[in-house]
A = this chain, B = another copy of it.
Amino acid sequence: MDDHTDQSRKPRADAVRNRERVLEAAKLVFNAGGSEASLEAVAKRAGVGIGTLYRHFPTREDLFEAVYRREVEQLSELAEQLKNAKDPVDALRRWLRSGVEFVATKKGMVAALALAVQSGSELQTFSFERLTKAIGSLLDRAAAAGAMRADISPEDLLRAFFGMCYMHDQPGWQSSVLRMLDVFVDGLRVQPAGKIKTRAASSAKPAAKRKR
């Protein structure tokens, strides 16, 4: 019961050092494209035993999270800044493009985030929540300005985005994704059902409930 969250002791030096080493090795290995690289390879590269790796990061996802936390935060902050842009739709577009940029550099990021999305349910997944919030604020602003349909949830958009990026490591993926994102954003400017003569209602379900 005694909630001595603070230092009942100093954390062991070797533990701190090893954690850092693993993180460093993982970053190298994952960014090199091999987001599916074996954790044992990471451990070896870090010069620690596999047991140590698992103690620090019980789950592959945990490791991903730690490795890409900084990047996620950067993307998050970018969204914050873009809230001040004049054109809210353009802001969204720019944010998505930056996302592509990140993915291009950190190859492992897609897999990491996709995993975070999939692992789904109500797991913590800091990254997913953070990005959802970021994208949500951009969406809301654009929708509030009437510049964009309002029935698309941040989760929808994130999933679509990751999905598109999932095909990275293809020859021309990057320009392809950029093009697709443009199409997508253009589509968001169109108000949903009715006005387009696509027979009846354009969607079976009324709309997803927005979370935030």
A interface residues, Cβ below 8 angstroms from B: 87, 89-90, 93, 114, 117-118, 120, 149, 151-153, 155-157, 159-160, 162-167, 169-173, 175-176, 178-180, 182-190, 192, 196-199, 202-205, 207-208
Determine if B187 and A183 form an interchain contact, defined as CB atoms under 8 angstroms apart.
Answer: yes
Copies of this protein in the assembly total 2
Determine if B175 and A208 form an interchain contact, defined as CB atoms under 8 angstroms apart.
Answer: yes
Q: How far is the CA of A198 from the CA of B183 in the complex (A)?
A: 13
- Nearest residue, chain B, Cβ from A187: B187
Determine if A185 and B182 form an interchain contact, defined as CB atoms under 8 angstroms apart.
Answer: no
Supposing A165-B163, A178-B203 touch, asked if A185 and B187 sit within 8 A by C-beta, the answer is: yes
Contact of A152 among B169, B173, B179, B208 (CB under 8 A): B179
Q: How far is the CA of A118 from the CA of B171 in the complex (A)?
A: 10
